[in-house]
Structure 1
């Protein structure tokens, strides 16, 4: 199958490199994407919207033949969910890596500080210790050296969903910074961020305890979980 890997904020296709070899070894074809404006710090990010990122993935998958699995890390989860909404018949499975299917009308993140019209990677103390679990000083230095500011509207634009056929696409949520039980409690309590999950017909939850960036802290384990989820 084609495994289309959509990164979260500040990351490009390079961030999936530790994962792709194991995906290939399992017989699948990985497609690590860099979304518009996220290729390098020198890229033009002026005016880029959440819809621009969604349409980029839409256009990418139209060129692929055969089964497609979408994998979204962090903010990339919102992107892949919108693509599922627009193309439910093309997507075999959706995998959310420490993320989830953002509901209609909700923005991805309103809390990241804006600087000069975009969202640079904040200082590490913006994140809690759990999110940074598994990353040593070298990992953090490499992350910061390669991080690209995220366009503000990608984080602030509301999600737009219109097609209830999205609920028919099987989903796996890989939980890293919260437990499966916490996720189930959130679903049962009607927490807005988890509002889509109870409506999806087939939802699997897999725990992969680590920080928010398992592609850096546990890349082989992450690849194995992705492959097992879609098997």
Structure 2
């Protein structure tokens, strides 16, 4: 199965370099995506541009692909399910929850000169970054790509209720499935609350398991694809 890999903010397709070989060894075809504005040098990119790139990859897949969205890109994976409900086999969301209709995609941190740079580690201290050593943090900082404001402040538009019938797997890295279920029950994720087929996978890691637990993450993605 084709497994489309969409990394979160500040990351390009190379974020999956340690995961992709493991997926290949497990019999799948990983397709890491470098999104417009996050690795291709297009500072004027918009959320629509990024979604178009994801949908192009979905349409190019020979069958129904597994669409994987990490962190903020959980919303991109869900937007793909909304735009191609008949084409997406399953959406896998790693450490992120899809934004509801009408919400900004990822307007989390301050922008400078039309982009949102990596804000440093202070907002991510604790469970998010506990398993990142100094070398991993330095590598992340040195390769982090500022995200265009047209992406972060782009408004999510969801139009097809058939998305709720697309199977969803929520991979829980820095939080537990029990916590995720509680948040959803409390109304924190109205989209996942309406998902017809929602399952959970626990992964003992921080927020960036592609860096700290690539083999375990690959096995989880392969299991999602095989099921």
* TM-score, length-scaled by structure 1: 0.94
Deviations 1:104-157 (A, max 9, x none): 112233331211110111121132221112111111111111111011121222
1:225 aligns to 2:220 (yes or no): yes
Map 1:44-123; keep pairs closer than 5 Å.
Answer: 44-46=42-44, 48-123=45-120
Which residue of the partner structure matches residue 184 of structure 1? Answer: 181
CA shift, 1:208, in A, is 0.8
SS at match of 1:101: coil
After the TM superposition, which of the residue ranges 14-23 and 125-134 deviates more from structure 2? 125-134
CA distance in 2, matches of 1:207, 1:153: 33
SS at match of 2:75: helix
CA distance in 2, matches of 1:99, 1:107: 15
Which residue of the partner structure matches residue 138 of structure 2? Answer: 141
Q: Which runs of 5+ in 2 are unaligned?
A: none
Which residue of the partner structure matches residue 211 of structure 2? Answer: 216
CA distance in 2, matches of 1:51, 1:128: 31
Map 1:123-134; keep pairs closer than 5 Å.
Answer: 123-134=120-131
CA distance in 2, matches of 1:116, 1:8: 21
CA distance in 1, matches of 2:178, 2:61: 36
Q: Which runs of 5+ in 1 are unaligned?
A: none
CA shift, 1:102, in A, is 2.0
Deviations 1:49-88 (A, max 9, x none): 1111001111122222112110000111111111110101
Which residue of the partner structure matches residue 22 of structure 2? Answer: 22
